[in-house]
Amino acid sequence: MLESLNPVSSCKKYSISLWQCPQFLFVVMGIVIILAIIVTYSLAVLKIGDPTIVSLVVLVVGAFLLIMNFTITNSFEKMAEVSKLKSEFIHIISHQLRAPLTNIKFSLDFLTSTKMTQTKEQQEEYYDILRENSTRMGDLIDNLLTVARIESGSFPLTKTEVSLERIAQKLIEKFKPFALASNVKIMLFSADHSLKVLADSLWIEQVMENFIDNAVKYTKGGGEINIKIYKKGNKVFYEVHDNGVGILKRDQVFIFEKFFRSANSLRKQTEGTGLGLHIAKKIIEKMGGKIGFSSQENKGSKFWFNLPTKKDV
Amino acid sequence: MSKKILLVEDESALQKSLGDTLREDGFEVISALDGETGERLAKSEKPDLIILDLILPQKNGLEVFQSLKNDELTRKIPVVVLTNLERIEHVEKALEMGAKTYLIKANYTLKEILVKIKNVIEDDLKEKNKG
């Protein structure tokens, strides 16, 4: 009960700054109004001979109140905007969860209602669908939780010295079967084996994996992926080049947006949660680096990030 | 002669479960995993019914629908929209374009979808016999 009367704590709850928080601004307004009345009254009583000063004070106080009002209205607008985005977000999540859920539902429907006896192989195909789609839902939920953690700020990073080259080698090994199946060759170019960055090794691995995963996914029917690691200034760069399908020009602005889907909302990306690159951007920025890409339709894409090198002792 | 159904749907899992259900019931099923292929197969195979998802790679369902309606050869093929999009503007648009039914995947079982599809084919037959 008392908690709700404390404007500072309730403003923290909405994670907006104090001067944008309606509760706090209302308290300030109240104090200003009371003060204004007292000051104006005492001035009028004490300096009754000088009405110019009295009216000047009234004008200043009036102007202050006007600005305050404007700020409050503005912050309400912002909150309404945020709430609109949130419902849009929920709409998209529900839709993203529904697709695998429908697959699971229909597979169970078929397995339980079919009149013909299924061979073991036929059944196995349906079990694969069930397995695949529950993983898909699980991945989406994992990603959503990561986004929520990033947005609320409760996102601990433990920075250590990390060799990007070593992680890249590990990832290439991991992607080998997948790359082989898609007829894609992955090559690593790294001149300086001693290069190290300051980063959280777990998260940086996730970002690096996301780049390679995208590159393989969008290099359909065979191609080449080149991973380059090099130092420029006091930054270490990690680049993934592919000669895949590329990204449409009109879609490029949205590439790091949450749940980005191409300009036409009815035209879906191939499978994926639409959160990978959004998370990557947040992680890299949080570790003090930069992220970017360049792409040409039907020619391929290049995704890169950089991170500060480890401080030389 | 068994009826031919074109299933335009990019989720391979759904292609399988719905496809198997239809085949088990004696239908011939042709699959298209994207909009462009769907449109091409509709024109070359002349199915008795098209089941169309709206979210499709390359060419979305409404675009495919529009071009089927513009073509004299495919204009009369009944179309059933089967999707998870339930925004009123999509439903209205699809019905306005002449969709026989608009089914939201999450709300129906395979059996119910099968019944709806059979009804549409039956109605279409009656219509043809009248004309």
Full pLDDT tens readout for chain A, 313 residues = 555 567 677 667 666 677 777 777 778 888 888 887 787 778 777 766 677 777 787 788 788 888 888 888 887 877 777 777 777 778 778 888 888 999 999 999 999 988 878 888 889 999 999 999 999 899 888 888 888 888 787 778 888 899 999 999 999 999 998 888 888 999 999 988 888 998 998 899 999 999 998 898 888 778 899 999 999 988 999 999 998 888 877 777 778 877 665 444 444 444 566 788 888 999 999 889 999 999 888 888 999 999 998 754 3
How far does B19 lie from chain A, in Å, by closest CA? 10
Give contacts of B60 with chain A, Cβ < 8 Å.
Answer: 264, 266-267
The residue out of A152, A173, A198 marking a domain boundary is A152
In a domain, A133, yes or no: yes
Give contacts of A115 with chain B, Cβ < 8 Å.
Answer: 24
Q: Indicate whether A177 and A302 sit together in one domain.
A: yes
Q: Is the sign of the CA dihedral A117, A121, A122, A124 positive or negative?
A: positive
Amino acid identity at B113: I
A268 to chain B, any CB pair closer than 8 A? The answer is yes
Interface test with B, best of A91, A121, A265, A266 (most B CBs within 10 A): A266
Domain count, chain A: 3
Closest to A228 (Cα-Cα) out of A199, A186, A198: A186
Q: Indicate whether A286 and A248 sit together in one domain.
A: yes
Considering only alpha carbons, which residue of chain B is nearest residue A129?
A: B13
The residue out of A103, A118, A152 marking a domain boundary is A152
Q: What was the pLDDT predicted at B108?
A: 93
3-state secondary structure chain B: CCCEEEEECCCHHHHHHHHHHHHHCCCEEEEECCHHHHHHHHHHHCCCEEEECCCCCCCCHHHHHHHHHHCCCCCCCCEEEEECCCCHHHHHHHHHCCCCEEEEHHHCCHHHHHHHHHHHHHHHHHHHHHC
Give contacts of A107 with chain B, Cβ < 8 Å.
Answer: 13, 16-17
- Put simply, the answer to whether B24 touches A109 (Cβ < 8 Å) is no
Task: Report, as an integer, the average pLDDT of B61-76.
Answer: 92
A97 to chain B, any CB pair closer than 8 A? The answer is no
Q: What was the pLDDT predicted at B71?
A: 92
pLDDT tens-digit series, residues B45-68 = 999 999 999 988 778 899 999 999
In a domain, A175, yes or no: yes
In a domain, A313, yes or no: no
Q: Indicate whether A249 and A184 sit together in one domain.
A: yes
* CATH code assigned at A124: 1.10.287.130
Q: DSSP assignment, residue A20?
A: G
Distance CA A127, CA A107 (A): 8
Contact, A219 vs A178, CB < 8 A?
Answer: no
- Put simply, the answer to whether B17 touches A268 (Cβ < 8 Å) is no
Partners of A232 in beta bridges: A235
Q: Render A278-312 in DSSP notation, one character per residue.
A: HHHHHHHHHTT-EEEEEEETTTEEEEEEEEEBPPP
Q: What was the pLDDT predicted at A143?
A: 84
**Pairs of residues, one from chain A and one from chain B, whose beta carbons lie less than 8 Å apart:** 72
Q: What was the pLDDT predicted at A293?
A: 93
Q: Indicate whether A184 and A220 sit together in one domain.
A: yes
Interface test with A, best of B9, B11, B24 (most A CBs within 10 A): B11
Q: What is the mean pLDDT of chain A?
A: 82
- Of 3.30.70.60, 3.40.50.2300, 3.20.20.20, 3.40.430.10, the CATH number of B4-130 is 3.40.50.2300
Query: Whole-model pTM?
Result: 0.69
pLDDT at B27 over 90: yes
* CATH code assigned at A239: 3.30.565.10
- Give residue A100's domain range: 88-152
Q: What was the pLDDT predicted at A272?
A: 61
